[in-house]
Amino acid sequence: MPTLIDCSDLKKTFITGETETHALKNATCTINQGEFVAIMGPSGSGKSTLMHLLSFLEKPSGGTYLFEGEDITTFDEERISELRNQSIGFVFQAFNLLPRLSVWDNAELPLLYDFYTKLSRSNKKKRVTDALKSVGLSHREEYQTQYLSGGEKQRVAIARALVNDPKIIFADEPTGNLDSKSGLDVMRILQKLHEDGRTIIMVTHENATAQHAERILRLKDGIIIKDEKVENRLIAKDIKELK
């Protein structure tokens, strides 16, 4: 499989007044297309920072980051916006839905900022319909998201992440705010998307959740200390409850 992400010595330093916090030090990794990677580590290990760098939400303080062979540190804001819109989908721990909008309107959001593919309105409509169908929310299209359960909200967020047909889906603690049943549903969907060929990169601090991935990057004190293949991988559709 071709390499999607290739980063070496990636660094992120936050400066608050005179205090420098090295959230990420020398992270080096390669992620290929079609992989399902979990990023794990204790609180403060830099796992979220790594994900924000990989998903173009923040700029690294040092090191190199090649995305599909291109050095993204040289990209201007316009190009970064295009990458965010076209290449990635993001699933947040707190869902980050716009509460007064309908399920449909929330799922449609990335398409509103798609100035690149020149999709027709009917094609855009089909994209939203298909995305909601794939997460099992076709019957909730007109609902305002504030009235949905946590599991349903996260499924809307996944539909929103899918709607622009991105190369990678980033999931930041996707089951963190959910009960075990809803968490399992989310993992089922993510595994299904992976089966369909998507690249999934997921941050979690729960071992059980990480076991659904194929590979785990373990971080400690801002450094990737272990890059391991998952033995005895959990398949969400075969289990009844997320442990």
Residues contributing to the site for other proteins (CB under 8 A)? 48, 52, 57-58, 77-78, 81-82, 84-86, 90, 92-94, 96, 98, 100-101, 105, 109-110, 112-115, 160, 164, 172
Collapsing DSSP to helix, strand or coil, 20 comes out as: strand
Task: Write down the least CB distance from residue 191 to other proteins, Å.
Answer: 24
Task: Write down the least CB distance from residue 124 to other proteins, Å.
Answer: 12
What whole-number distance in Å separates Cα of residue 97 and Cα of residue 150?
11
Task: Write down the least CB distance from residue 42 to other proteins, Å.
Answer: 19
What whole-number distance in Å separates Cα of residue 239 and Cα of residue 151?
17
What are φ and ψ of residue 202, in 5° steps? Answer: -125, 130
Report which of 100, 102, 178 is spatially closest to residue 140, judged by C-alpha positions.
102
What whole-number distance in Å separates Cα of residue 214 and Cα of residue 190?
12
Choice between 93 and 182, CB closer to other proteins: 93
Residue 101 and residue 95 in contact, taking contact as beta carbons nearer than 8 Å: no
Choice between 98 and 225, CB closer to other proteins: 98
Task: Write down the least CB distance from residue 101 to other proteins, Å.
Answer: 6
Choice between 82 and 141, CB closer to other proteins: 82
Work out the burial of residue 101: count CB atoms within 10 Å of its CB; fewer than 13 is exposed, 13-18 middle, 19 or more buried. middle
Residue 65 and residue 71 in contact, taking contact as beta carbons nearer than 8 Å: yes
Choice between 101 and 119, CB closer to other proteins: 101
Choice between 33 and 81, CB closer to other proteins: 81
The structure tokens listed for 227 are 């890059």
Task: Write down the least CB distance from residue 70 to other proteins, Å.
Answer: 18
The sign of the dihedral angle between the CA atoms of 41, 47, 51, 54 is negative
Task: Write down the least CB distance from residue 230 to other proteins, Å.
Answer: 26
Choice between 39 and 236, CB closer to other proteins: 39
